[in-house]
A and B are shown apart, each in its own frame.
Chain A
Amino acid sequence: MRARYPDHEGFVERDGVKVAYESYGDNERSVLLLPTWEIVDSRVWKCQIPYLARSFRVVTFDPRGNGRSDRPSQVSAFDRRELVGDAIAVLDAAGVERAVVVAWCTACGVMLAAEHPDRVTALVEVATDLPLSRDPGEEQGYPFDEPLATDTGWAKWNRSYWHRDWQGFVEFFMSAMFSEPHSTKQIEDAVGWGLDTDWETIALGMDANWPRDREQALDLCAGPRCPVLVIQGDDDGIVGPARGAAVASAVHDARLVLFEGSGHAPHLRDPIKINTVIKSFVDRVGGAPMPARVWTRGLHRSKRALYLSSPIGLGHVRRDVAVAHELKRLCPEVQIDWLAQHPVTAVLEAEGERIHPASRWLANESAHIASESTEHDLHCFQALRRMDEILVANFMVFQEVVEEGLYDVVIGDEAWDVDHFWHENPELKRGQHVWLTDFVGFLPMPDGGEHEAYLTSDYNAEMIEHIARYPWIRDRAVFVGNPDDIVPDRFGAELPVIRDWTAEHFAFSGYITGFTPPTAEQVPAWRAELGYLDDELVCVVAVGGSGVGRALLDKVIAAYPMAKRQLPALRMVAVAGPRIDPAVFPTYDGLEIHGYVDRLYRHLCVCDLAVVQGGLTTTMELAAAKRPFLYFPLGHHFEQNFHVRHRLERYGAGRDMDYAATDPDQLAAVIAENIGRPVTYCDVETDGAARAAALIAELV
C-alpha cells in the first residue's frame, strides 16, 4: 500500500508518446518531482510525496520508457529535451503555472530551469549526472558498445552485457547506487523498477542526445537564474563525490548541501533529512508567510507525554491504555496525548483519551497490513519492510508534533518509525523516549531460505548498531514480558543471542493484559452478565481486527455443524471484527456471528474454549484467564510462529494448530476434545501495567 495516493492522475501525449502523471494535494505552491533516467519510475519519490504534499501541491510523472508511460521505440524519443517537453506538458495538464523542480541525477532539471524560467521558481538537484567531474565507472575505461571479455564491475555498463543479462546489470547498478550499509529494501525497490523496463528501451536512451561533455555541461549550468540547491552524497558511487561541488560552482545562485556517508540516492536512503532540506528550501524561496508561533517558557510548561500505540493488531492499545491509566495515577500532573490511527483511535475515543489532531495525517498501517495478507497468511517481516514509505510519512508527522508540542516524554509501543528514524537522525530527538515491545529480533521463516535469513539478520544488525552507537536515543526500553519469554535464537549467524542482548538492554515489565481476569468464583457472575448459561458450552472464535481472519473463520464455521452434533450444548460465538462482514457466513442454530464486540476479553475470560489466531494479545488473555484454546499462527508470521509460540509454550498455554493441515472434520473433533478441559497454565502477572508505568514515571 502507498502512504498516499494521488488526488488526480492522467496522461499527456506528445508526438504519440503518452506520459503518465500524478498530482497530490491542492496547496498553492507547487513542487515538481522530476523523473530521472528511465531505468526507474516516479515511485523513486515515494518517501517525499506524502510529506511534501501536506504543504505543497506535488506533481510527478513517469519517464517515457518506464512506469505507466509509453515505451517508444525510436532513439529520438529519448532525447533529453523530450523529457523537458514532457515536464512542461505535465505542468500544463496539471494546471501548474510555476513550480520548484526537484531533479535527481538527470540534467533535465537544469535544462528546464534554464529554458523555462517563467515556470521554474527554484531547482533542487540531487546527485546530478552533468559530466563536470569523472564518473567512478569511467575510470575503469570500458567501452559501452564493444563486447568485453569481462563482466565484472563497471564492465557491466555495456550494451552486449545488457542484452545478455539485464537483471545482472540492474542488480549491479542499483547496489552501486546505495553505498550505505543496510540498504536491502532500497536496492530491492530500485531493482524492481529497473526490471519494469527492458534493456532495449534503456539502450535507445543511451543512443539519444544528452549532455556528454564538460563544455555542454557548463553551458547548461550557466542557464538557470533561479535559486538552486545542490545535494550531494560524499560516497556517491555513480557520479562520484565531487560532482555536487562542481555543479554548485558552475551555477549562478547555488548552495551545496553535502550528505556525508551517503550514496547516490539520499532521498531514498535518508528521506527524513532530505524532506526537511527540500521543505525549508521551498519555504525560503517561496517567501511563504510565517505562521504565528507560540513558545512557552520552560518552567511555564505543564508535563506532557505523547503516546504512540502500534495499530498493527488491536492488542497494543488495550495494554497501552492500561499503562496510561497507571501512569496518570503515579503522575497526575502529566497530560497524555495520543498520536494514533484507526483502529486504535476507536478504543481511545471510547476511553475518553486525548487524541492529537495531527493524527489525521497518519497513513494507515493497519490497512497496509491487511493489504499484505492472503488466506490465513501474513509475511509480517516483509509487510513491515514494505511499509517503509508509510513509516517515513508517519514519522514526518510525528516529528512535527514533537517539535511543536513540547512533550517531556514520548512513549512508543512498537512505534517503529520513531525508534528507527530517531536513530537514523539522532539530532531530531525531542524529550525522553520510551520504547516498548513484546518481541525482540526479526526471525526468518524457513521457506524464505538463505536470502530471508540474510535480510532478517541485516535488519537486526542495523538495530543493534543503532543502539550501540546511540545509547541515548532510547532512554528506557521496556520488554512487555519476562526474560524467559524471549526466544533462544540468535539475531543472525554472527550476531548476539537475542535473550542475552535483550536482558542487557531492556527492563522487564512482565506481561500486560490490561485487565484482571475473574477468579474461579467470579466466573459464573461474569458469564451471567454476558448471557452465557451454565449448561452451555461456549466456544468463542476471534480472528483479530483485520481481514486476514476470514479464512480461519470460514474453516471454524464449516466445522460447526459437526462439532454441534458431537456437543449438543455447544454455543459458538464468532467475532468477525470490523473488517469482515458477518452477513457473508452461513447461519446455524447455536452459532452467532458478531462484528465488533466491546471488551472481547470478558468473553474470552469465561468461555469454555476459544479458537483464535496466534496473536500475542488474545492468546495471552486466554492464558491469563486460564481457558482452554486452540491457536492457529498465521502463515509466514514470524512473530506468531516463533515469539508467541515460544511464550505460550513457556506458560504451557493453548494448543498449537496448523491451519493448512486441519480440515473442518478434524477441527470439530479437536473442539470437542478440548472444550471445557481443565488447564494448568503458569500464572500471568496482573501488575504489568503498573510496572511499566513505574518504569516510565521515573523519567517524568
Chain B
Amino acid sequence: MRALEPCATGYAERNGVRLHWEQFGAGEPTVALLPTWSIAYSRHWKYQVPYLARHFRVVTFDGRGCGRSDRPTEPSAYSHVEFAADIVAVLDATGTDRAVLAGLSLGSVWGLQVAADHADRVLGVVCFGSSVALAPMLAERVVYPFDQRLTSTEGWAKYNRYYWLEGGYLDFLEFFLGRFFPEPHSTKQIEDFVGWGREIDPATLVAIEEGVMSGEREPMRSVCARITVPVLVIHGDEDRLAPLAAGAALAEITGGELVTIVGGGHGVQARDPVLVNHLIKGFVDRIAR
C-alpha cells in the first residue's frame, strides 16, 4: 500500500508520447519531483511525496520509457531535449505556473536545463547525485565502451548494450544498484530499484541510453551559468555514480547551497529520507515564502 495516493492523475502528451503524472496535496508552491534515468519511475520519490504533500502541492511523473508513460522505441525520442521538454509539458498539463524542481542524477541535469531555459517557470532546483559533466567521471566508469562487445562482464563492463540484451540485464541491475547504494544495510532500497529496473525491457533501456548520449548539447557549465533561480545541491561523498566534485562544482557555478552527506551514496533521497525531506522543505520555505 502506498503511504499517500494521488489526488489527481493524468497524462501530458508531446508528439504522441504520453507522460503519466500524479498530483498530491494542495499547498503552495508546487514541488515537481522529476524523473531520473528511466531505470526507475516516479516511485523513487515515495519517501518524499507524503511529507512534502502535507506542506506543498507535489507533482510527479514517469519519465518516457518507464512507469505508465509511453515507451517509444527509437533512441531519438530519448534525447536530453525531449526529457527537458517533458518537464515543461507536465507543468502545463497540471496547471502549474511555477514550481520548485527536484531531480536525482540525470533528473537534476534536466531540471537545471529547464531552469536555464524557462526561468519564469522555476522557483528553484534541488539536485541530488547530480550527474552533471562538471568534474571528471569516476575512473572506473570510463574503462568500458557501452556499445562494443566486450570480453569481460566484470564490474562496469556490465554497463554494456550486449550484456543487457543477451541475458546479463538482471546481473547488471544488481551490480549497478549495489554501486548506487554503497551504504551498509541498503537491502530494501536495492530491492526496490532492482524491481523497478526489471519493469523495463532491456531493449528500451538501450534505446534510452543511446538517446541520452546522442545529440548536440550545450555544455553544462554554460547551462549552469544561465541559471538565476536558487539551487540546492545535495550530494553523498561516497557517490560511486556521480562524484561529489561534480555536485560541488554545480553549487559553485550556480551560487547554490551545498549539503554534503558524509557516508552517503547516489540515492540519498531513498537512503536518508528524513534528512532529505527536511532539506527540501527548508529550501522551499526559504525561497518561496
Contacts and interface: CB of A to CB of B under 8 A. Distances in A.
Contact of B258 (A284, A292, A299): A292
Contacts of B183: 297
A290 interface: yes
B255 interface: yes
A297 B262 CA distance: 6
Contacts of B289: 284
Given A284-B286, A284-B289, A296 B262 contact: yes
Nearest to B261: A295
A297 B260 contact: no
B272 interface: yes
A296 B259 CA distance: 10
Contacts of B261: 294-297
B251 A292 contact: yes
Interface string B110-143: 0000000000000000000000000000000000
B257 interface: yes
B262 A300 contact: yes
A48 B286 CA distance: 24
Kindly state the interface size class of chain B when it binds its partner. 10 to 19
Interface in B238-284: 251, 255, 257-264, 272, 275
Contacts of A290: 257, 286
Interface string B127-165: 000000000000000000000000000000000000000
A296 B255 CA distance: 23
Contacts of A296: 261-263
Interface size class of A (residues with CB under 8 A): 10 to 19
A426 B277 CA distance: 24
B184 interface: yes
A289 B257 contact: yes
A293 interface: yes
Contacts of B275: 295
Interface in A272-324: 284, 289-290, 292-297, 299-300
Contacts of A294: 259-262
B246 to A, nearest CB: 15
A296 B289 CA distance: 28
A292 B185 CA distance: 28
Given A297-B263, A299-B263, A300-B263, A292 B286 contact: no
Contacts of A299: 184-185, 263
A163 B25 CA distance: 64
Contacts of A289: 255, 257
A295 B262 contact: yes
Contact of B257 (A284, A292, A295, A297): A292
A174 B261 CA distance: 50
Contacts of B185: 299
Contacts of A295: 259-262, 272, 275
Q: Is the interface of A mostly helix, strand, loop or mixed?
A: mixed
B184 A293 contact: no
Interface string A69-83: 000000000000000
Contacts of B258: 292-293
Contacts of B259: 292-295
B284 to A, nearest CB: 13
A448 to B, nearest CB: 50
A297 B236 CA distance: 10
A20 to B, nearest CB: 37
Given A284-B286, A292-B258, A297 B272 contact: yes
A4 to B, nearest CB: 29
A297 B182 CA distance: 12
Nearest to B282: A290
A293 B251 CA distance: 12
Interface string B184-202: 1100000000000000000
Interface string A226-258: 000000000000000000000000000000000
A296 B238 CA distance: 11
A294 B257 CA distance: 11
A140 B260 CA distance: 60
Nearest to B252: A292
Contacts of B263: 296-297, 299-300
A295 B272 CA distance: 10
Interface string A603-635: 000000000000000000000000000000000
A290 B126 CA distance: 14
A293 B264 CA distance: 14
A50 to B, nearest CB: 26
A555 B246 CA distance: 71
A226 to B, nearest CB: 14
Contacts of A284: 286, 289
B260 A293 contact: yes
Contacts of A292: 251, 257-260
Contacts of A293: 257-260
B271 to A, nearest CB: 8
Contacts of A300: 262-263
B255 A297 contact: no
Contacts of B286: 284, 290
A627 B262 CA distance: 55
Interface in B178-224: 183-185
Contacts of B255: 289
Nearest to A285: B289
A293 B261 CA distance: 9
A300 B184 CA distance: 10
Most A Cβ at <10 Å: residue of B251, B263, B286, B289: B263
Given A290-B286, A299-B263, 4 more contacts: A293-B260, A297-B262, A297-B272, A300-B262
7 contacts: A284-B286, A292-B251, A292-B257, A295-B275, A296-B263, A297-B261, A297-B262
Interface of B: 183-185, 251, 255, 257-264, 272, 275, 286, 289
Interface of A: 284, 289-290, 292-297, 299-300
7 cross-chain pairs, A with B, having the tightest CB-CB distances, nearest first: A300-B263, A297-B263, A296-B262, A290-B257, A292-B258, A294-B260, A293-B259
